[in-house]
Amino acid sequence: MSPDARVVGLGLCVYDLSLLVDGTPVPDTKVDALDVWHGGGGPVPNTLVTLAGWGVPCAFVGTVGDDLWGRALRDAFVKAGVDVSALSLSPGRATPVASLQVNASTGERTAILGGDPALPPPPIPAGLIERASLVHFDARHPASCHEAVGRARRGGAAVSLDVGSPRREGLELTDEVDHLVVAERFAHFASGQGRVEDMLRTLWRPGHQSVVITRGEQGSVGRDRTCEFVTCDTFETNVVDTTGAGDVYHAGYLLGVLEGWDLARRMEFASAAAALACTRLGERGCLPSLPDVEALLAKRRVSA
């Protein structure tokens, strides 16, 4: 176990098969894929792998099956430099797998999840969270998340939550975290509001450090204790596949949290990183480097 993991993540770990197709296949037809990608996926794992590529020590807490896909996921973490000492391979259980059809014209994808997404995480090793600077989770297992929050509070680590789909598990945790960065459809579900400004106001709690709502091609909006409403536009890139863009957004945002950047800078950096992640097929097919993100940011500033 790494003694100096700055970010500890808990969440769903998935093996992905992405197929780039021309349009949306209709029933009872056969089509040829234009491109194929397969490898590790899942919101929190993708965020950790991106951060690790930027030099941030990370550790993952979770469970996969002791099968071909589970071992491949473990190997992908190891290759990326993420600590896997708290990753459990459960005998006789099926690793979550996802089939993703990506529309070549729009970059939008349709995902079908199989395997066993309910695999419970293993016990969290003593000291892992207490030594971390930040804990990041996706609310898949609320009991483990609540435990992680309590241990983070005792150790002084910040806590962040990523929820994209409207799921009740996420509602249980939105009030407990420091940094709430969620997709607009979850924000609508959690707040009951239609206007994004009202979503922000409804989700905000005095204990929050920041709340950000990501809106796909419409950019992102956020607030913190100094600014009630900050907007950030998306960056123009050649979009091939939007899968995992939100996960990379979280990585960029959390890097800013670790570095002490203000809200606007965190959102801008995260948006640039997410845009670059869309330029190739697969969740980890095009994880951006720090120089590439900085170059895209510099290009916008020159244009401005």
- State pLDDT tens for residues 259-275: 999 999 999 999 999 99
The CATH code that applies to domain 7-303 is 3.40.1190.20
pLDDT score at 283: 84
Residue 1 has pLDDT above 50, yes or no: no
β-bridge mates for residue 10, sequence order: 61, 137
CB 54 within 8 A of CB 82: no
pLDDT score at 164: 82
Residue 286 has pLDDT above 90, yes or no: no
* Gyration radius of the chain's alpha carbons: 18
Higher pLDDT, 170 or 295: 295
Instruction: Using alpha carbons, list the distances in angstroms from residue 213 to 141, 167, 174, 201.
Output: 22, 16, 13, 11
pLDDT score at 166: 82
CB 243 within 8 A of CB 100: yes
Mean pLDDT of the chain: 93
Residue-range domain boundaries for the chain: 7-303
Residue 176 has pLDDT above 80, yes or no: yes
pLDDT score at 118: 81
Residue 124 has pLDDT above 50, yes or no: yes
With cut-offs at 50, 70 and 90, classify the pLDDT of residue 304: low
With cut-offs at 50, 70 and 90, classify the pLDDT of residue 303: low
Q: Quick: pLDDT tens for 201-228.
A: 999 999 999 999 999 999 999 999 999 8
Question: Residue 291: phi, psi to the nearest 5?
Answer: -60, -35
**Interval 140-145 mean pLDDT:** 90
pLDDT score at 29: 87
Where residue 67 falls (left for φ over 0; alpha for ψ -120 to 50; beta otherwise) is beta
CA distance 194 to 171: 17
| Ranges 33-37, 109-113, 158-162, 260-264: which has the least confidence | 109-113
Q: Quick: pLDDT tens for 47-99.
A: 999 999 999 999 999 999 999 999 999 999 999 999 999 999 999 999 999 99
Instruction: Using alpha carbons, list the distances in angstroms from residue 116 to 66, 96, 97, 101, 119.
Output: 12, 5, 8, 20, 6
| Ranges 17-31, 34-48, 68-82, 151-165: which has the least confidence | 17-31
CA distance 153 to 119: 26
Measured in whole angstroms, how far is the alpha carbon of residue 182 from the centre of its chain? Answer: 10
CA distance 197 to 220: 11
With cut-offs at 50, 70 and 90, classify the pLDDT of residue 253: very high
